[in-house]
Structure 1
Amino acid sequence: EPWLDHSTKVLEKVVSMTKEDNPLVLIQLALTLGESRSAKASRALETLAKAHAELKWMKTAIQSSQGEGNDDETLSQNLGNLKEAAKKLTTGKPTTSDKQFAQTYERYAKALSGKRDPKRGEELFQKTCAVCHLVRGIGKAVGPDLTGEKNRAEETMVLDVLAPNREITAGYATHLVRTKGGETLAGLLVAEAPGNVTLRDLAGNEQVILRNNIAKMEALKVSLMPAGLEQALNPKDLADLIAWLRQ
């Protein structure tokens, strides 16, 4: 049974996020809903397919969630034939060819040498990134704190955004915990003690789980940060955002 179906409370919370307007959250949500085979999750995926079909990675994310055995005609009409793209997405590789990805990277890297607007970059951060990242007290501490990014090479920062699964920051791998009571929890492992562990979910909420109540705990190889961020940030956007981070 998919892990998301083990907890009605978690499923309801995940489904409620279809009302979000941040495209990055919506794409990650589509992937997460694949961990449920309930009618409620299917309806949520159908809602995402109809309301956000213009997002380049949304169709791929939903197709990946549905898997090879999807027979839902309504979803199939909305999604089209994207099985090959879905396979590439689940392996963490770019859905474009190496040559196309290199061209995309070059376009974004080239924008770093143009005129940039740090103030606009801050506005873009608050709109696009603050839902998961913290910088100088702005945003949420779900993913890595980006305050120290000013010390990193700008070209590396571009690569991190375009290919988030290339290298997952130490301490920020997504963990799944299955309890002996049958509940499944997902989030970042933010603390470990002899008798318990602490997980932080996408909303920033933390939960302490006793070790003697854990049946299994595993780290996933996929970043919480979704691929396809170029859908929300064009080269000038990312250049401005990096200029602000570097201040």
Structure 2
Amino acid sequence: AVVGGLSPTPGRREASVLNGLAEGMARRGTKLGEFLGALPEVLSQAAGIAKDGGRPLPERLDAVRLLVHVPWDAASPALGALLADDQPQDLRIAATAALSTHGRPEVAGMLMASWKKALPALRREILEAMGRRPERIQALLDEIEADRMAPGELGASLLKAVLNHGDASIRDRAKKVVQNKMPEERQKIIDRYKTALGMAGDAKRGRDLFKTNCAACHKIAGVGTLVGPDISDTLSKQPEQLLVDILDPSRVIDNNYANFLVKTKSGTVLTGFISAQTASSLTLRRGEGQEDVVLRQDIEEMKSSGVSLMPEGLEKNVTVEGMADLIAFLKGWRFIDAPEREKR
């Protein structure tokens, strides 16, 4: 009865009904496309609605979600078109999610074609889609091997999952690929500074080092400017991990703070992470909380740099002993001025 009441050209209500119906049927092991064999026109219209820029965005989003249940040959041209840079962010995210449900080998390439210009929310959706299937993880490793993507861009959770994957062929290849892409000079510096881990650092001296070297982008205990990720919750982090994060900040990148390079049509080059966005503009934030607002229509080129907003080279300003002090501050800033009994 529900299907019988649908018009051949679905509007938002019809698309919502079909999406709900499809989800319920999927839980029972039945596919909507098979059930609606007598009404192929209902599903075939979804691709056209999804691509129609004159339709309201909620209606287009409903149509995109319906493309999950449309055969690949009919769905893929629309989903591919909706990944384009000129499409609304919400549509690109929905198209990525819909594509990820199709187990076709072409999906990985379609998703990664959007990577360099993808903003943080879309990046998260792409990584989630790529991490779901073994062949897509292999495609991610292909991207890293070809220097089209840095290992750190996978983010901490996916990188850990790939390096510890249950499939030995993926796990072994991932370890080899990531190791080969690890900057040797950075690792040598980390190895040299490891002696700091065995030293008893002075948290108060570390606070002074933090003010001088880190406070332009980070804020702890009321000191500094919150530009980058909140690093105040360091109590649970091991000193070894803090050392790596400090000396090789691009080893693992929080994609919410991916550094973008934006070139405007007037020739201006801006850098920073995307701190805010609207349908017509982007806001780039950089050190000391400085921001640049750029209209989307003025952007000639935009891409992720593949490196952290936090620069390398802290070792030029901090000795090994100073690193012990800085880590002591990061680990114990809560207790730096507390009475002795509170430190126990």
Into which bin does the TM-score normalised by the smaller protein fall?
A: 0.5 to 0.7
1:216 is matched with which residue? Answer: 301
Unaligned runs of 5+ in 1: 1-90
2:183 is matched with which residue? Answer: 93
Deviations 1:155-189 (A, max 9, x none): 10011112222122232221111223332211221
The alpha-carbon deviation at position 203 of structure 1 amounts to: 4.2
Q: Do residues 129 (structure 1) and 211 (structure 2) align? A: no
1:88 is matched with which residue? Answer: none
3-state SS of paired residue (2:241): helix
Letter in 2 for 1:109: L
Q: Do residues 244 (structure 1) and 244 (structure 2) align? A: no
1:156 is matched with which residue? Answer: 241
Query: CA 1:243–1:149 in 2, change beyond 3 Å: closer, same or farther?
Result: same
- How does 1:227-238 map onto structure 2 within 5 Å? 227-238=312-323
1:47 is matched with which residue? Answer: none
Distance in 2, matches of 1:102 and 1:242, equals 14
- How does 1:46-61 map onto structure 2 within 5 Å? none
Distance in 2, matches of 1:92 and 1:143, equals 23
Contact 1:92 1:165 in 2 (8 A): no
1:104 is matched with which residue? Answer: 192
Contact 1:173 1:222 in 2 (8 A): yes
Contact 1:94 1:163 in 2 (8 A): no
2:265 is matched with which residue? Answer: 180
Letter in 1 for 2:183: K
Query: CA 1:102–1:144 in 2, change beyond 3 Å: closer, same or farther?
Result: closer
Percent identity, aligned pairs only, is 38
Contact 2:193 2:320 in 1 (8 A): no
When the two chains are superposed, the root-mean-square deviation of aligned CA atoms in Å is 2.3
Contact 1:92 1:222 in 2 (8 A): no
3-state SS of paired residue (1:125): helix
Distance in 2, matches of 1:106 and 1:153, equals 13
Query: CA 1:101–1:179 in 2, change beyond 3 Å: closer, same or farther?
Result: closer
Letter in 1 for 2:315: E
The alpha-carbon deviation at position 224 of structure 1 amounts to: 3.1
Query: CA 1:212–1:92 in 2, change beyond 3 Å: closer, same or farther?
Result: farther
Contact 1:122 1:244 in 2 (8 A): yes
Contact 1:133 1:143 in 2 (8 A): yes
1:18 is matched with which residue? Answer: none
Query: CA 1:167–1:198 in 2, change beyond 3 Å: closer, same or farther?
Result: same
The alpha-carbon deviation at position 126 of structure 1 amounts to: 0.8
Q: Select which of 248, 256, 262 maps to 1:171.
A: 256
- How does 1:5-84 map onto structure 2 within 5 Å? none
The alpha-carbon deviation at position 110 of structure 1 amounts to: 2.5
The alpha-carbon deviation at position 193 of structure 1 amounts to: 2.3
Query: CA 1:237–1:212 in 2, change beyond 3 Å: closer, same or farther?
Result: same
Q: Do residues 194 (structure 1) and 286 (structure 2) align? A: no
Contact 2:196 2:324 in 1 (8 A): yes
3-state SS of paired residue (2:308): coil
Deviations 1:129-148 (A, max 9, x none): 11222113211223323212
Bigger Rg over Cα:
2
Query: CA 1:205–1:241 in 2, change beyond 3 Å: closer, same or farther?
Result: same
Distance in 1, matches of 2:327 and 2:224, equals 16
2:105 is matched with which residue? Answer: none
3-state SS of paired residue (1:221): strand
Query: CA 1:218–1:102 in 2, change beyond 3 Å: closer, same or farther?
Result: closer
Q: Select which of 120, 131, 144 maps to 2:229.
A: 144
Deviations 1:9-55 (A, max 9, x none): xxxxxxxxxxxxxxxxxxxxxxxxxxxxxxxxxxxxxxxxxxxxxxx
TM-score, structure 1 normalization: 0.54
Query: CA 1:129–1:176 in 2, change beyond 3 Å: closer, same or farther?
Result: same
TM-score, structure 2 normalization: 0.40
3-state SS of paired residue (1:148): coil
**How many residues were matched structurally?**
152
